[in-house]
Amino acid sequence: MAETGNTGIDSVLVAGRGPMACAVVRGCAALGVKTVAVHSATEREARHVRLADEAVWLGPAPAAESYLSVPRLVEAARRSGVTAVLPVPPALAGNSELAAAVVGAGLTWVGPEAGVLERLGGDGVEPASARGFLAVVTADGLRHVTPVRRDRDAGTARVSWVPGPGDDVALPAAAGRLPELGWRGLVTVGIDPDGELAEVSAGFSSDLAVLERAHGVDAVALALRSATGRVRPDSDGQPRPAVAVQLRSTLPPGEAGRVTGRLPDVWPSERDAELAAVSGYDPGDRLDGWYDALLATVSATGTDTATAARRAADALTELSETGVPHDGEAVCAVLHRLAGG
């Protein structure tokens, strides 16, 4: 994949958990950047912790007392000796209080500045509008602009894809003003039915993998380079057809489980970047009832949307017994509809 090499950052606290944090840790490792994971009392042995170079305990199981606690995250960054904090989920990446506290501690914040988050309403909402776009915002404009459509049958954007010919998603005029308003780095946007900006989100949204597959880039490298002003001014090109899906547990809220089978896990390479999958769990791992049960993410590209959808569906078809119920069948039904045009 493109976008590798020096980022100007040598170590980061990865603020997050689950498959997205695992993807960020692995992306940092490929760039030679040291990672420090964070975890709650019930996730000392979580996969994102095992993948990282080091790990720091945050607090009790409830997210408000661990993963979402600004004081605990900043103190963890201080204790670990990292030079930067990379927030993974929009709930943290859009937190202006956390952004200000990180910078106040003398560390690099990987994302838009606190004042920009306040002005533009980067409030941590995961964009889930039926239409939207993904991009990297630089001082010179938007890069890797990627329109997306999102399936919302389940109330969440569990499948996202680049619209095909005749199904264009027009960018709102306000999108062009993001650079002059000071936004820098990754952005995920929702577009309302009137064609105006709806949600505006920083961090690693669930469908950011669409941008990666569509342009053959690494979102982690783009995020780190954006924080140090090192995004390369190379040509973007038109986005290729791409699809991203999220596989989620359907356990009732608050009910824990245990993963017994292997989930999709395919790391893209220079030789083959058409399919990527990141699991948040290995066989034997406990699924904690406190948190959003995102099990894995899968993204694919191809000559057309149908091909990309079939590749993603193949990665989710005939999964071994996972030990926990999931929405794979419903997700594959959406992918099969895309594959059928």
Average pLDDT (262-277) is: 79
Average pLDDT (189-199) is: 90
pTM exceeds 0.75 for this model: yes
pLDDT value of position 236: 67
Average pLDDT (153-164) is: 79
pLDDT value of position 5: 60
Average pLDDT (40-62) is: 94
Between 299 and 156, name the one with better pLDDT. Answer: 299
- 242-339 placed in CATH 3.30.2130.30: no
Q: Give me the percent of the chain exceeding a pLDDT of 90.
A: 72
Burial of 173 from C-beta contacts in 10 A (0-12 / 13-18 / 19+):
exposed
pLDDT at 24 over 50: yes
pLDDT at 54 over 60: yes
Class of the CATH-defined domain 11-120: alpha beta
Average pLDDT (310-323) is: 88
User: Domain map of the chain by residue range?
Assistant: 11-120, 131-147+164-227, 242-339
Average pLDDT (181-209) is: 91
302 pLDDT band (50/70/90 cuts)?
very high
Average pLDDT (23-36) is: 96
The 10s digit of each residue's pLDDT in 73-109 is 999 999 999 999 999 999 999 999 999 999 999 999 9
Residues 6+ apart with CB under 8 A from 75: none
3-state helix, strand, coil in the chain (%, to 5): 30, 25, 45
Between 167 and 94, name the one with better pLDDT. Answer: 94
pLDDT at 2 over 50: no
pLDDT at 335 over 80: yes
pLDDT value of position 155: 60
112 pLDDT band (50/70/90 cuts)?
very high
Query: Does residue 95 contact residue 193 with C-beta atoms inside 8 Å?
Result: no
pLDDT at 319 over 90: no
Q: Which of 45-54, 164-173, 224-233 has the highest mean pLDDT?
A: 45-54
Between 52 and 151, name the one with better pLDDT. Answer: 52
Is beta strand 159-161 parallel, antiparallel or unpaired with respect to 242-248? Answer: antiparallel
341 pLDDT band (50/70/90 cuts)?
confident
pLDDT value of position 142: 93
One-letter amino acid at 304 equals D
120 pLDDT band (50/70/90 cuts)?
confident
CB neighbour burial string for 212-236, b if at least 16 within 10 angstroms, e if fewer: bbbbbbbbbbbbbbbbeeebeeeee
Average pLDDT (169-184) is: 89
DSSP 340: T
Q: What is the distance between the alpha carbons of residues 23 and 126, in angstroms, rounded to a whole number? A: 18
